[in-house]
Structure 1
Amino acid sequence: MATAPVPRKSSQPELPGGSPSPDITPVFALKEVVSRLHREHSKVQDLLSSLGFALRSFTNLNQFLELTPLIASRVTDADGGALILFRPNGQMRLEQVHCQDSRQSQSVRKAMETATRQLTAATTVAGAAALTGSKLSSTLDNQVSHFLGPGMQLFGTAILAKNVERGRLYVFSHDPAYEWTETRQKLVRLVADQTAVAIANDELTVELRKKERLDRELEIGAEIQLQLLPRQCPKIPSVELAALCKTASRVGGDYYDFIPANYDQIRSKKGNDECRRWSITIGDVMGKGVPAGLIMTMLRGMLRAEVLNGHSPSRILQHLNHVMYADLENSNRFVTLFYSEYDAETRTLSYSNAAHNPPLLWQAATKTVKRLDTLGMLIGLDIDTQYYDAQVQLEAGDTLIYYTDGFTDAANQSGDRYDEENLLQDFQRACLHCDGPQPILDYLFGQVQQFVGQGRQHEDDMTLIVMQIQA
């Protein structure tokens, strides 16, 4: 009796109803591929996040540059990377080298150093003009590829900071089957871009530190200059004074001073209050800022020495011009200076002018204003220039203002200047309605600010002295 054949059991799992399922091996393989791609994507994200964290956190550029070839090779599954930076003088420097296989590190470093050294030699005086821009990068790429050998899969990209190529980032693999896909190239360029940001940030930090040092030096200069200007107006018999200097920048070129004209009185234990002869002077160095401030400081020292010699105002200006001429000529800067001496016993003001804005004298008896001026050129312009003396008798109620051109040159938004006529009219009005030098000074500064516009910065230093004769 024939035996019925036993049916062979299917190796495939059955679907509901007893029918076998299709082969699911490709499904498992696809899942593995997706899982591997996900892991690689996560690894790339983690590496780039680490580089971004370093960019935000590291204050030392060298620490960041150490990571650049490492991250670039890791995100592309390459064997290593190298970073070459360009210097402003045309020199090249191998900054960092990374190799997954430490045994190859020495040979790769040697190849990179040889390439940069030979190309640097080619870009000296004779060849610097020929190897610039893209041609320099292309030549460097060829040199690096040549010394690394034909079996190396190499990719290089530029490090661009402020549209200037600052170096090259190279990534390489010894695997003959390795391919530089578009994705891998983009990843290397992304690392290079972050490296460029790090270099630019470091340069900005260096510039910021320089600026902070300069700002501190300017603060010190401003403090010294402020200390050189009179801290307060002196007490002169039958005279009341008010003065103010506003600088357009931290260090200004305006100068004013009150100097006891008698050396014995300066040495007197009674102090300067007993001195009855005072020099009152105001000046302006052409320009502003630190150079003008330095010249102003030099002028102050020389003038104070000259005052003690007891010469006339014109002779003092003559001596200053002779002494300062060489220094001012070399600096292409000049000084305007009005020098006067007041004798409290005779109420006589003697003066001489070196092309400064003439002070305005309001005479109480006639209620009119006159300018106090003499012929004379700027100090430092002509060594042979002559200066002249003049005198004026002051009476009780007379008011005198010394000022710099920061007042008359102050401009409003339309470009119109305050000019001397406006100052003269406001000065007359102040003398009629203000009680004392300080209210007059405040009023005149207020008028200029109102003319210029509230909140607008003055372009030049502004200095004003108000002197009023008391009964």
Structure 2
Amino acid sequence: MKASPSPVLALKQLVSRLQRENSKIQELLASLSFALRSFNNLNQFFELIPLITSRVTEADAAALILFRSDGQIRLEQLHCHASEQCPNIRSALETATRTLAESLAMLAEEQAKSQQSVEDTPDQRNQTDDRRYMEESLDRQLSIRLPNDIAYHGTAILVKDSQMAERGRLYIFSQNPDYEWTETRQQLIQVIADQTAVAIANDELAIKLRDRQRLDRELEIGAEIQKRLLPHQCPDIQGLALAATCKTASWVGGDYYDFIPITYGLADKTALADGRWGIAIGDVMGKGVPAGLIMTMTRGMLRAEALNGHRPSRILQHLNRAMQPDLENSHRFVTLFYSEYNPQTHLLSYSNAAHLPPLLWQEETQTVRRLDTYGMLIGLDAGSQYQEAEVRLQRGDTLIYYTDGITEADDPKGDRYQEERLAEALADACRQNLDPTAIQDYIFDQVDEFIGPNGHIGDDMTLIVLQITD
């Protein structure tokens, strides 16, 4: 029988564990502070909020809900560890926000019809009433719709000097019956909520200070840069059929994709087609000339690294280490998925730097799987390490690379297209035995139908379709 540790040893182990947990919390909060100083894209910052919140509070899930100035209420981001309860939590949040938004719309309509007396101070009163109403109603909706074994706690995101002081709520969820909403956890979530409020205020200030004429000029130059950098056509690669398109939301896009011949410099076109090829897709945070310059730098350095014969993970590591000082100074970062395909072996090796993982339709099993590895944004930390994996492709397999403009496309209700719908569209197209060009058109048609005839593209949409033919 194993002996129990002595009281002194147990105390030392407890102190050591607490020190490790405190160090982990400090690192997470430091990362959030760094992101607040560095991220120009507010959506990228929002993606970190639930992740860090759930970790520092040791919760199963965390959600960020925002109250828009136009009266819309939406679930901005959800991070969930409890996979079996994730659908229930998401469903409760989406239903609660939609119900509250409808109630607020009816309340605003009733207030507009009613007469206000001279003594009333409607702006001040309505702001206070709306804040209390949103807090109570949203919490009440969650209480009704969440399973009984899921506890939740929330805190307000308050932006000073704003027409609507409360701009959202930050929630945590736990299935653990012993989970305690301690003062320390309350303080931690309040720190994150305060930094979120600062990010929102900074973003609104940046919008107000934007110089429209200068922006137009940047967009014009950036559009020309991007046009010259993206491939004019897909290459001929043995055993592959390819299609690729980039649809920009405005003049200048932040998306990037490329096909890189590893046997670069060979005059024999047959040998070039038979050799290994690098296939990359990425997203430069931000728009305009700065994003175009970063794309230029990324493209050139990635091509140089690919020609050195390194593995995909080593290429991303070198690229991140070389670009980090410049990206840190520019306060912009890059997500990048890099893969290398060998037509002789049908092996696809890949590594991911925080980009959306490609989806692979496997003809043999008639299923879709994600190709993903762990890796941080390019430029965030010079010491980041990148994992690598590989998959052997077979005849009939189809792989799509894409950017978040597709999965984050909104329908008129504010719902997003999301990865699940994209995977279903890929599976439907493959079951119809469509070629890459037809698959690409089918997916874009599905997204357009989801957005609706009066919708608009909110972000760049890039799609690469790769199909094994031999």
Q: TM-score range by the shorter chain?
A: 0.5 to 0.7
Corresponding position of 1:227: 228
Task: Tell me which structure has the larger Cα radius of gyration.
Answer: 1
**Residue 271 to residue 219, structure 1, CA distance change in 2 (3 Å):** farther
Alignment of 1:53-202 (within 5 A): none
Q: Is the 8 A contact 2:221 2:289 kept in 1?
A: no
Q: Distance in 1 between matches of 2:245 and 2:346?
A: 24
What's the CA shift for 1:466? 0.2
2:308 is aligned with 1:309: yes
Q: Secondary structure at the match of 1:365?
A: coil
2:393 is aligned with 1:394: yes
Q: Give the share of equivalent positions with the same residue, in percent.
A: 65
Q: Is the 8 A contact 1:334 1:380 kept in 2?
A: yes
Corresponding position of 1:380: 379
Q: Which moved more, 1:244-253 or 1:272-281?
A: 272-281
Q: Deviations over 1:231-283 (max 9, x none)?
A: 000000010000000111211110000000123xx242548754421000000
Any stretches of 5+ residues in structure 2 without a counterpart? 1-210
Corresponding position of 1:429: 428
Q: Secondary structure at the match of 1:301?
A: helix
Q: Is the 8 A contact 1:241 1:437 kept in 2?
A: yes
Q: Distance in 2 between matches of 1:392 and 1:364?
A: 14
Q: TM-score, normalised by structure 2?
A: 0.53
Q: Is the 8 A contact 1:411 1:417 kept in 2?
A: yes
What's the CA shift for 1:291? 2.3
Corresponding position of 2:359: 360
**Residue 271 to residue 302, structure 1, CA distance change in 2 (3 Å):** farther
2:249 is aligned with 1:251: no
Q: Is the 8 A contact 1:249 1:288 kept in 2?
A: no
Q: TM-score, normalised by structure 1?
A: 0.53
Q: Is the 8 A contact 1:249 1:289 kept in 2?
A: no
Corresponding position of 2:465: 466
Q: Is the 8 A contact 1:360 1:371 kept in 2?
A: yes
Q: Which moved more, 1:282-291 or 1:242-251?
A: 282-291
**Residue 336 to residue 260, structure 1, CA distance change in 2 (3 Å):** same
Q: Secondary structure at the match of 1:290?
A: helix
What's the CA shift for 1:423? 0.7
> How many pairs are equivalent?
260
Q: Secondary structure at the match of 2:309?
A: coil
Q: Distance in 2 between matches of 1:422 and 1:367?
A: 16
Q: Is the 8 A contact 2:243 2:436 kept in 1?
A: yes
Q: Secondary structure at the match of 2:304?
A: helix
Q: Distance in 1 between matches of 2:432 and 2:347?
A: 26
What's the CA shift for 1:287? 2.3
Q: Is the 8 A contact 1:359 1:371 kept in 2?
A: yes
Corresponding position of 1:284: 283
**Residue 339 to residue 353, structure 1, CA distance change in 2 (3 Å):** same
Q: Is the 8 A contact 2:263 2:272 kept in 1?
A: no
* 2:362 partner letter: Q
**Residue 213 to residue 405, structure 1, CA distance change in 2 (3 Å):** closer
Corresponding position of 1:262: 263
Q: Deviations over 1:147-206 (max 9, x none)?
A: xxxxxxxxxxxxxxxxxxxxxxxxxxxxxxxxxxxxxxxxxxxxxxxxxxxxxxxxxxxx
Corresponding position of 2:73: none
Q: Deviations over 1:92-121 (max 9, x none)?
A: xxxxxxxxxxxxxxxxxxxxxxxxxxxxxx
* 1:317 partner letter: L
Q: Distance in 1 between matches of 2:379 and 2:212?
A: 32
Q: Is the 8 A contact 2:266 2:272 kept in 1?
A: no
* 1:412 partner letter: D
Q: Distance in 1 between matches of 2:284 and 2:216?
A: 22
Q: Distance in 1 between matches of 2:451 and 2:297?
A: 32
Corresponding position of 2:156: none
Q: Deviations over 1:418-455 (max 9, x none)?
A: 01111111111111114200000001011111111124
Q: Secondary structure at the match of 1:449?
A: helix
Q: Distance in 1 between matches of 2:288 and 2:316?
A: 24
CA RMSD of aligned residues (A): 1.9
Q: Distance in 1 between matches of 2:388 and 2:414?
A: 37
* 1:354 partner letter: A
